[in-house]
Structure 1
Amino acid sequence: MASCPNEAARIQAVVFDVFGTLLRIGLRKKPYLQLMKLAREQGRKPLPDDARMLMTEELGLLGAAERLGLAVATSMLTELEHDLFTELSSVELFPDATPAIRMLQDAGVRVAACSNLAAPYAIPAKLLLPNLDAYCWSFIAGTIKPEPRIYRQVALQLGCPLDSIAMIGDTLEADCLGPRRSGIRGFHLSRSGTPDPDTFIDLTSFAQYLLSTD
């Protein structure tokens, strides 16, 4: 993997991906995926930007169904809403999330969350991560990772130059390579992988690394 740009820049802020990085879903029901499957069953051909639309507009399941032009029976919508509630209720923090955030904030580093998600998933994220300095949700920003605009948006919210920000997440393109192309120091989280200078297997090691090299 290519080395990070601007290695000497002082890190003022850290941006974390959310799901798969700070939070995990215990019971996966995938209601939005079920909705897309229903659309195919009703004869609607998938469009390349369907997933992007669901993550860049503030849509619940009913709103998503309407945007997809679906006729969804009340019983089916109720079932999907129940699955969504079950999934959201099962969201929990990874054990290393809070310690890593606390280490950084105690050292005076600003911390943000940046995530591609459908609007309802911001609810457990905000409840479980209540004291961050910024939250950049794709459905509010109107753009998704790895589009450059979302990284500029989170930098603006943090009030920090791009080259003073580090980012980490479990998706290589969205959380490491995309940020690097925008001037952010990107790192990859691979909990089951092999650590190297650009890849970490846990968030506390990542925080310790940043603080020891800053």
Structure 2
Amino acid sequence: MQPRPPTRAVVFDAFGTLVAIRQRRWPFARLVRATADPRHALQVVMTRPLGLREAAQALGCNEVPLSSLEADLAIELNSITLFPEVSETLAAIRALGLKIGIASNLAAPYAEPVVRQLSTALDGYAWSFQVGFLKPDPMHYRWICEELQVAPEETLMVGDTLAADFLGARSYGLQAVHLDRSGRAPKPDVPTIRTLVETLAWL
């Protein structure tokens, strides 16, 4: 059995992993549900750099209460906070000399509040609205690896969504660990951590 390549970068999912929305209002979800084809609408809002009003125009949603949705969006964005252990974990990873990135599926307005919350400057970002692909599409992982200038096998992906952050990352060749804050028993053959501090044990 060949030894695992040394880890040169750690990539985190954003929501549910690094940050949480404390006051959920679901403005984009409500916009998507107002369309004739919600699946297509979700793809549009998550893979194009659109604000809420621009997304409504792109989707032809002329009857939705935009003012109400925009107010709810502002509430959500202002309620975004880091999980308690994030700053400590990122600082420890940085002290090891490793690169740090984010690979996340999200609509455009949510990116800036995430970056603003972080006390540690990161080395690369792959936002779905920027790269044009949703995890677990391989192109999403390719983008962040190229952004960080590391090979997939040298990269550890950490996130709370099994399909997008673990299975998809593994299929592209990344190392991966599943974050499950719930305390449930881990799934067989799925390396699981309960808090981001435990990421350090995998480096």
TM-score range, shorter chain: over 0.9
Report the equivalent of 2:160: 170
Deviation at residue 169 of structure 1 after TM alignment: 0.4
- Once the two structures are superposed, residues 133-156 of structure 1 have per-residue CA deviations (whole angstroms, 9 ceiling, x without a partner) of 111111110111000001000000
1:6–1:163 contact (8 Å) kept in structure 2 = no
2:32–2:38 contact (8 Å) kept in structure 1 = no
Matches within 5 A, 1:18-97: 18-39=14-35, 45-72=36-63, 76-97=65-86
Q: Secondary structure at the match of 2:6?
A: coil
CA distance in 1: counterparts of 2:140 and 2:62, whole angstroms = 33
Unpaired runs of 5+ residues, structure 1, are 40-44
Deviation at residue 82 of structure 1 after TM alignment: 0.7
Report the equivalent of 1:42: none
CA distance in 1: counterparts of 2:161 and 2:185, whole angstroms = 15
CA distance in 1: counterparts of 2:192 and 2:34, whole angstroms = 38
Deviation at residue 187 of structure 1 after TM alignment: 1.1
**Residue type matched to 1:48 in 2?**
R
CA distance in 1: counterparts of 2:16 and 2:168, whole angstroms = 17
Report the equivalent of 2:197: 204
Deviation at residue 128 of structure 1 after TM alignment: 1.0
Matches within 5 A, 1:81-120: 81-120=70-109
Q: Could you tell me the percent identity over the aligned residues?
A: 38
2:156–2:174 contact (8 Å) kept in structure 1 = yes
- Once the two structures are superposed, residues 73-130 of structure 1 have per-residue CA deviations (whole angstroms, 9 ceiling, x without a partner) of 6xx2111111000000000000111111111111101100110000000011110125
1:112–1:134 contact (8 Å) kept in structure 2 = yes
Q: Secondary structure at the match of 1:28?
A: coil
**4+ long deviations beyond 4 Å:** none
Deviation at residue 50 of structure 1 after TM alignment: 2.1
CA distance in 1: counterparts of 2:172 and 2:28, whole angstroms = 30
Cα pair distance change 1:107/1:131, threshold 3 Å: same
CA distance in 1: counterparts of 2:112 and 2:13, whole angstroms = 15
**Residue type matched to 1:82 in 2?**
A
Match of 1:133 among 123, 139, 147: 123
What is the TM-score normalised by the length of structure 2? 0.92
CA distance in 1: counterparts of 2:29 and 2:172, whole angstroms = 30
